[in-house]
Amino acid sequence: MTTRITHLIGNKPWDGVADRTSEIYNPATGEVTGALDLADKQLVDEVVETAATAAKEWGRLSIAKRTKILFRFRELLDAHKEDIARTIVAEHGKTFADAVGEINRGLEVVEFACGIGSITQGGFNENVSTEVDAYSLRQPLGVAAVISPFNFPAMVPLWFVPVAIATGNAVVIKPSEKDPTAVNQIAELWSEAGLPDGVINVVHGDKEAVDALLDNPKVASVSFVGSTPIARYVYERGVQAGKRVQALGGAKNHMLVLPDADLDLAADAAVNAGFGAAGERCMAISAVLAVDAIADELVGKITERMARLTTGEGNQDGVDMGPLVTKDHLDKVTGYVAAGEAAGAELVVDGRNGEWVGGSSDGFFLLPTLFDKVTPEMSIYRDEIFGPVLSVLRVPGFDAALQLINDNPFGNGTTIFTNDGGAARRFQSEVQVGMVGINVPIPTPMAYHSFGGWKSSLFGDTHAHGMHGVHFFTKTKAVTARWLDPSHGGLNLGFPQND
């Protein structure tokens, strides 16, 4: 028996009949578990109209009242995070611990947004001219669209929605059609927290729904996370329609390991960052740059740790990694494994024929896979695989590694493992990447900093959450004011007067 999943418009489930639907799968078993209603342009336009009407009143509501709702939502999300995590495991396939972890990261953004009163303060200058004051205001845009990916069905919407709502906007979210239910659950919590009808809306769909959001003139901004080709498309079409757009794209994240590094720490980090969430995250490490002097030892340590990993159904105790999200994606990733092997890379650990726990033989499983002696022209290095495939490239030293990273078209995240402070300082200064880690596996910033890459990993001028997020979801207005002093009944402005 399958469950119907539908849109939430004005805090109410849609009561219509969809012309088109898509299937939702349990990745651990391959079973169809849900039928998702897909929106057409007409329905998207109706949802945007609902949001636009709600935005007018919500944007005028006091900061104090908005903040109270944010605090209530924060408590509700924390109380229900395990229920939402189970939904994510069932639809995405990641482990329960990973699913809880992504909601916790989203909670950090909610907590940041709870301080919206202090972070949206404008500036004020008294007496910029005689008896004239000047000040600036931050005001909401109106309707903000959020188009989120499958790999973090809760966290990515929570990067954008709390900041957009806190700053006085109404939101239309279009989740991934692969794992949409978590967003519905989160939207229901917003309603329970007291958010007025229409301030948050969920519309499900595919490219037709995305295009309708990009083209609708009442959508003021679009926030997107996904692959680089689609990010570029969203950015270009949205900007052509006059919208403010932040489109976060793909990645090829490198970990540089220098000879003086703690190799045990580096090996632990490579395994965690390469295979956590089955490698389906934009901050996953997919390329380890090992200096020749320590490459053999590092590959040996990574291999030893991989042998201790358990792959299986995400709710099983002791499972480190779950399945991939769909059968099509599994086929794509295993195709890259075959291509790497054919190109001459050394397949140290082949995850295509391993065993897993729980789930079924029809599940979308690929066990952790390791290549050594990968070269830059191979597709397993050039492309974002988005799966549990880790590639080791051997480099002669620091300069060659830095050049390799900077030559890559992606610039999302990178990290260096070293005990040399000078090398680390030079790395963080010269690497052409938006998020940099030093002796940490995944350099994801906290919510009060902003998340985003460089080069083909970001289209637009602003990153997600932090002050970039506040600036993205608000527009600045400058005011110059003169108030007459009642003691003299007016000011002589110096203009000729007719007596």
Rounded to 5 degrees, what angle do the CA atoms 325, 330, 331 make? Answer: 145
b/e sequence 156-175, b meaning 16+ C-beta within 10 Å = bbbbbbbbbbbbbbbbbbbb
pLDDT surpassing 90 at residue 390: yes
| Residue 491 belongs to a domain | no
426 and 461 part of one domain: no
177 and 315 part of one domain: no
pLDDT in tens, 171-194: 999 999 999 999 999 999 999 999
pLDDT surpassing 90 at residue 234: yes
Backbone φ, ψ for residue 373 (5° rounding): 60, 40
485 confidence band (pLDDT: 50, 70, 90): confident
Match 């990178």 to its residue by tokens: 414
Other beta carbons within 10 angstroms of residue 51's beta carbon come to 28
Q: Are 156 and 225 in contact (CB under 8 A)?
A: yes
pLDDT surpassing 70 at residue 315: yes
Question: What pLDDT is recorded for position 494?
Answer: 60
Query: How large is the average pLDDT for residues 396-405?
Result: 98
Query: How large is the average pLDDT for residues 357-364?
Result: 95
Question: What pLDDT is recorded for position 493?
Answer: 58
Question: What pLDDT is recorded for position 29?
Answer: 97
Backbone φ, ψ for residue 274 (5° rounding): -85, -30
60 and 24 part of one domain: yes
213 and 257 part of one domain: no
| Residue 26 belongs to a domain | yes
Q: How far apart are CA 366 and CA 374, in angstroms?
A: 20
pLDDT surpassing 80 at residue 487: no
Question: What pLDDT is recorded for position 119?
Answer: 87
| Residue 345 belongs to a domain | yes
In the 8-state DSSP scheme, what is residue 2? P
Q: Are 380 and 343 in contact (CB under 8 A)?
A: yes
Closest CA to 375 of 392, 387, 350: 392
Q: What percent of the chain has pLDDT over 90?
A: 93
Q: Are 45 and 167 in contact (CB under 8 A)?
A: no
| Residue 444 belongs to a domain | no
91 and 120 part of one domain: yes
The residue type found at 490 is G
427 confidence band (pLDDT: 50, 70, 90): very high
- Domain span including residue 278: 253-438
Query: How large is the average pLDDT for residues 385-396?
Result: 98
348 and 385 part of one domain: yes
Match 């929570």 to its residue by tokens: 158
163 and 32 part of one domain: yes
Please state which of the ranges 149-153, 220-224, 362-366, 483-487 shows the lowest mean pLDDT: 483-487
pLDDT in tens, 44-73: 999 999 999 999 999 999 999 999 999 999
98 and 114 part of one domain: yes
Question: What pLDDT is recorded for position 115?
Answer: 95
Q: Are 71 and 114 in contact (CB under 8 A)?
A: yes
pLDDT surpassing 60 at residue 122: yes
Catalytic residue among 282, 306, 345, 366: 282
409 confidence band (pLDDT: 50, 70, 90): very high
Other beta carbons within 10 angstroms of residue 478's beta carbon come to 10
Q: Are 376 and 393 in contact (CB under 8 A)?
A: yes
163 and 19 part of one domain: yes
- Per the rule left: phi > 0, alpha: psi between -120 and 50, beta: everything else, 491 is beta
Q: Are 483 and 127 in contact (CB under 8 A)?
A: no
pLDDT surpassing 70 at residue 395: yes
What's the maximum distance between 2 C-alpha atoms anywhere in the chain?
Answer: 98
490 vs 28, residue with greater confidence: 28
Question: What pLDDT is recorded for position 492?
Answer: 59
Question: What pLDDT is recorded for position 32?
Answer: 97
273 and 341 part of one domain: yes
Count of H-run helices and E-run strands, the chain: 15, 23
Question: What pLDDT is recorded for position 67?
Answer: 97
108 and 158 part of one domain: yes
Q: Give the CATH number of the domain where residue 75 resides.
A: 3.40.605.10
Provide DSSP, 287-302.
Answer: EEEEEHHHHHHHHHHH
475 and 375 part of one domain: no
b/e sequence 196-215, b meaning 16+ C-beta within 10 Å = bebbbbbbbbeeebbbbbbb
Q: Give the CATH number of the domain where residue 296 resides.
A: 3.40.309.10
pLDDT surpassing 60 at residue 319: yes
pLDDT in tens, 253-269: 999 999 999 999 999 99
And the tokens for 2?
């399958």
Let me know if 282 is a catalytic residue.
yes
| Residue 499 belongs to a domain | no
Question: What pLDDT is recorded for position 484?
Answer: 82
Query: How large is the average pLDDT for residues 476-495?
Result: 76
| Residue 296 belongs to a domain | yes
And the tokens for 11?
């805090």
Helix (H, G, I), strand (E, B) or coil at 130: coil
Average pLDDT value for the chain: 96
And the tokens for 363?
């599940």
| Residue 447 belongs to a domain | no
pLDDT in tens, 271-300: 999 999 999 999 999 999 999 999 999 999
Q: How many domains does the chain have?
A: 2
Q: How far apart are CA 33 and CA 206, in angstroms?
A: 19
| Residue 23 belongs to a domain | yes
Backbone φ, ψ for residue 408 (5° rounding): -70, 140
